[in-house]
A and B are shown apart, each in its own frame.
Chain A
Amino acid sequence: MPESSRKAIVTCRGVTKTYKLGAIEVPALNGVDLDLLEGDFATLAGPSGSGKSTLLNLIGGLDQATTGEVSVGGQVLKGLSRSKMTELRLHRIGFVFQAYNLIPVLSALENIELILQLRGVGQNERRDRAMEALADVGLQGMEDRRPSNLSGGQQQRVAVARALIGRPSIVLADEPTANLDSHTAEDLIDLMYTLNQQSGVTFLIGTHDARVIAHAKRRIEMTDGRIVSDDREEQAHAA
């Protein structure tokens, strides 16, 4: 799809974020402007402390910008109540975290179903969709396994399935391969890319991992709380 015909899923305008550590103010973002388009498979790279995670948190509605405006799917996040923000995350945003963050007392299938259950989807539809999502990430037959009985790579695949099950506008992934060995990391990157291609869901991946960056169609680089480069490839990557 040509860039001009794709609509913006996320818009950041003049976004700053300052943390207070006692009397000291630490700037994490210094005026970020960004548009993420429908279907983007973008990486957010940069050294530690460059503001990647902060930006992901602001786009994910997990934190509030000090100044500037963030909107997701046309919804401006500033001023949203805690409850509305939760609602927005439930319906518009999927998360994949470095530490997988599955609920330990739920099975793989139940972890995926959780999102649909929170949305009030009926049991049969929920089960069918979750089974399908589990198959999409290559974990058929592992429905009943608890996270403690899955490898790191398998857990992260469950997390990806959980992020996508609700058909969100965007999936935000913060260092998703950091805890994985290189082979598993490659598999995961391929999986996320394939799902991006199949579903058209926008991915924004905060990462240091060169392999992930190599797969990206769009590479955003941050330094000192600013976006210093934003390269787009219109061609699909060569897997």
Chain B
Amino acid sequence: MSNKKLIQLSSFFLKLKSQPMTAVLFLCASFSIIILFLMLFFVAQEGAYAFTQFGSDLLFGMRWDLESNIFGGLPLLFGSLMVTFGALIIAIPIGVSTSIFVSEVLPFYLRDPIKSIIELLASIPSVLYGFIGLLVVVPFIQDVFGLPSGQTALTASAILSIMTIPTIVSVSGEIISAVPKNYKEAALGLGATKWETIKSVVLPISKSGILASIMLGFGRAVGETIAVSMVSGNQAHIASSYFEAIYTIPSFIATHMGEAAVGSTEYSALFGLGLILLIITFIVNTLADVVVKRGVHQ
């Protein structure tokens, strides 16, 4: 750290010392950082034993067997990524087209009601999504595809996509409606149709924002626990198609934490899985932030 930066930093903290109210406010604002660090610390601490014991096998091992003390999370990681990608494949086209439609085509007085409905979708708790999935989607998929059980990766992806759409719509909608009006008017003035304007002006400008919204959607989907564990069948294996049951990291943690004895190897391995999940979402969210900021700068 250079001298100048050090002086800046110390004057920042001196100022806090002389103004107690500012210091209190600063402390509240730093809470998020403190909590994040504590979270990383505690999850890593509890999972450390499993990592020293199994190393990368925790991530790439094929078998999770309590009796023979083998803990490999690859089928779970595979299951997580499989349902997340499935959900995104459904959610991206719907989400992006919805946000374009809401902020470009829809008449002004309809925007608030539609946005409110999307917000309501976002606030429905995951246990209710899981419930509806079990009640409606599971039997539906079982009948339509003639499967022995409707609890498949496809079911989980379908439910997850409905949960991911609000994230994609709200973030990319914000970026799309921030496109300067005169850009659009210039294109329209040159004789472009509304659709041509959207395609060649609005979309290229808001590209990075849309990308960020997809990444945030990924982060939300990969960590979804309750709904997925209710409809995905919960079988840890490398599924060869979306019509098979799978197990994801978060739902595995949720269903196994209760049985694992505190301090046991399994307990530590579950925290190890949690750490992997935390790091994945951490990277994705940070990248999304960077992408948005760079997009705004341009």
Q: Please determine whether chains A and B interact with each other in the same assembly.
A: no
